[in-house]
Amino acid sequence: MAPSGNAADTIRILVATDSHVGYGERDSIRKDDSWRSFDEVMQLAKSQDVDMVLLGGDLFHENKPSRKSMYQVMRSLRQNCLGDKPCELEFLSDASEVFDGAFNNVNYEDPDINVAIPVFSIHGNHDDPTGDGNLCALDLLQVSGLCNYFGRIPEVDKIEIKPILLQKGLTKLALYGMSNVRDERLFRTFRDGNVKFFRPGIQQKDWFNLMAVHQNHHARSETNYLPENFLPDFLDLVIWGHEHECLIDPRLNHETKFHVMQPGSSVATSLIAGEAVPKNVAILNITGKEFKVEKHRIKSVRPFVTKEIALQTDPRFKKIMKVRDNRSLLTNELEKIVLEQIEQAKNEWLYIQDEEVDEKDIPLPLVRLKVDYTAPDGCKFDCENPRRFSNRFVNKVANVTDVVYFHKKTKINRAPNVDKKMPDESVLAEIGGDSVKVGKLVHEFLTAQSLKIIPQAEFGDAVTQYVEKGDNHAMEAFVNESLSLQVKEMLALDENAIEDLDEHMERFRQKREEMFATGLLKKAKRDRKLHPRPVNWDSDEQGEWADQPGAVIIDDENEGNVNSALAIKRGKTSLFISDDENMNAVSNVPKKAPASKKAATNASSTRGRKKIVKPTSNENIGSSAQTLAPIFTQRPRRVVATKASQLNNRSIDVIEDEISDNDDAFEAIIRKRRK
């Protein structure tokens, strides 16, 4: 029987992604922007009487949010999502299979909590699980009963995605979630056919299949994104998180026949053009297999205007570039442009407000002016220091240190075999700009080096953990572990092998690279512990004990156990893996693991706290689900990327430009084409 189309058969879902609560909280002007936008979204959910809220990742800007950020999120969820209004959604899944925590049940069925609007969320790359216990901020919200955290990926090299089954009236909803996974690794897992989607076992054509993901949407290299055609074609709508540009209108993928919606972020975290697009959230109205979208503008977002000009072609600067000392003239003209942007930002913000607002209550806008000051031959643009120029707009803009960004095209003459340890100019130009990802920089510079002892991928990961995740001991622990393992391996060699010491060190380093790429070293990293804090330690005066040098215990015994488990898994007695071993084997049919390999499961790469029991082909989700065979069983053709030799004194144009928020990429890029 088809749904009637009335409210009793319509599921209303408020969809939002990338709230980034906690962003800029140390900025005296912008410190409250992120949580105010999130609170407006939650108030909208309550006022629009939705059935549920779906968050697409990056609720928090950091995986260790501050107490203020956690307080504001919990306050908003409690004020807007708890209440006496009964939730009309019927939960049909086995909660133990879709939730992983101390309370394996959906929060609105808990007899001790009155939940009016349930919130379902996956994690993103900013609020991902880390540290002892592999917990994240969403775990705290889940145990407090304020959020339903789903879409965990315990094993990144073997992913099984089971839906949450909900029903309201005659409308059935299968909600899939896949939290953030490093893009290169996820690409390989999909390519090798190691991703399984489960579907309801009965009335499959009657279910509306909705999925939330948090990955790169567009190719920034050959493998560091999730192609839309990797997802199964039985889906009806995909909510795409991680990308901050708001593309709220659903777009049809003509190959897979499902729609894709990209809500974007609710706060600007970088001064690029994509963040200047008006911020919106959507309310989905699902009735049977049909859906409609209601767009709602987020009105509390700080106004943001960006503009890009080229002085050489702009008529306002034609005469100025011919003046010898033109700094003051150039500065005055640029100042006029910025003032115009400020006025534009204020007018746009006032236009979307429902009530009249006093001038003093208008928030200071974000303004960015990108200036290409490349001058023709014989001319020069004498630009003022960008920070000094930006300080002219104190009390007029929110970003008083980076209003203007100067860049120009530079011709670089490079002879062959010069600076071999530096990346190519084209690579430096690509990664240059307003927002540079540390992982990308480390990867490109290490690729040009010749490391003999330290594994490149682990080194890059440690730098990224230190800079982006705030792990103060990442570098210290990595260096100690690497050197300790190298020494142990060298001492284990016989006398005849000493002459080939360099070769053995290189082999050892390469095998560590391979093991890191497949996720086999993740468990060892989570086993790090701290020395007990001294009794007389004063955290207020001396700082946190966990941040002190030497506080980390490098557990040699654990490292040895992990290496032993890895060796057992491969049937070897040493750390080395045979060259003929297939580390990315594709298995279309689940096989029963031999008993001798059972002990090695503790060392496999996991992102969750519990091991998912492999289902058989007849296993159901709750009472109505079955296994879907891997979507891809063939590997695409590979084309080896070649690098052309450099010419003597070749002139190269390098243009600095911004790059989008990107995940870490420490692997060599291999070009692949789909048939």
Which one from 20, 61, 123, 126 is the annotated catalytic residue? 126
Residues 134, 608: contact at Cβ < 8 Å?
yes
* More confident position, 220 or 658: 220
pLDDT (tens digit per residue) in 90-148: 999 888 888 876 677 899 999 999 999 999 999 999 988 888 888 899 999 999 999 99
Give dist(CA 98, CA 91) in Å, integer: 12
> Phi/psi at 481 (nearest 5 deg)?
-65, -45
538 pLDDT more than 80 = no
470 pLDDT more than 50 = yes
pLDDT at position 146: 95
Is 17 strand, coil or helix?
coil
Residue 65, both tokens: 């949010």
Residue 133, both tokens: 């216990």
Terminal C-alpha separation, the chain? 40
| Span 411-439, average pLDDT | 53
518 pLDDT more than 80 = no
pLDDT at position 439: 64
Helices (H), 394-469: 425-431, 438-447, 456-468
pLDDT at position 648: 40
Is 140 strand, coil or helix?
helix
Q: How many CA atoms lie within 13 Å of 109's alpha carbon, on the beta-carbon side?
A: 13
CA 541 from centre of chain: 35
The helix or strand, by DSSP H or E, that contains position 337, with its residue range, turns out to be: helix 327-351
Give dist(CA 569, CA 571) in Å, integer: 6
Give dist(CA 241, CA 88) in Å, integer: 27
What band does 479 get if pLDDT is binned at 50, 70 and 90? confident
Q: CA Rg, the chain, in Å?
A: 27
- Tell me how many degrees the CA angle 448-452-458 measures, rounded to the nearest 5: 75
Residue with tokens 């509306």: 208
CATH code of domain 304-397:
3.30.110.110
Query: Is 254 annotated in the active site?
Result: no
- Whole-number Cα distances in Å, 276 to 362, 407, 530: 17, 20, 44
| Span 248-260, average pLDDT | 95
- Tell me how many degrees the CA angle 276-427-222 measures, rounded to the nearest 5: 75
45 pLDDT more than 80 = yes
Q: What is the pTM of this model?
A: 0.64
Residue with tokens 């003209």: 333
* More confident position, 627 or 4: 4
Give dist(CA 508, CA 144) in Å, integer: 46
452 pLDDT more than 70 = no
Residues 60, 137: contact at Cβ < 8 Å?
yes
> Phi/psi at 36 (nearest 5 deg)?
-70, -40
Mean pLDDT, the chain, integer: 78
Domain ranges of the chain: 304-397
Residue 580, both tokens: 């003929």
609 pLDDT more than 60 = no
pLDDT (tens digit per residue) in 385-404: 999 999 999 999 999 999 99
What band does 5 get if pLDDT is binned at 50, 70 and 90? low
644 pLDDT more than 50 = no
- Burial annotation 393-414 (CB, 10 A radius, 16+ → b, else e): beeebbbbeebbbbbbeeeeeb
Helices (H), 157-296: 183-191
Residues 179, 186: contact at Cβ < 8 Å?
no
pLDDT (tens digit per residue) in 213-230: 999 998 878 888 999 999
Residue with tokens 């567009």: 218
* Residues found in the chain: 675
pLDDT at position 530: 65
Give dist(CA 533, CA 286) in Å, integer: 54
Could you tell me which residues are beta bridge partners of residue 283?
14, 294
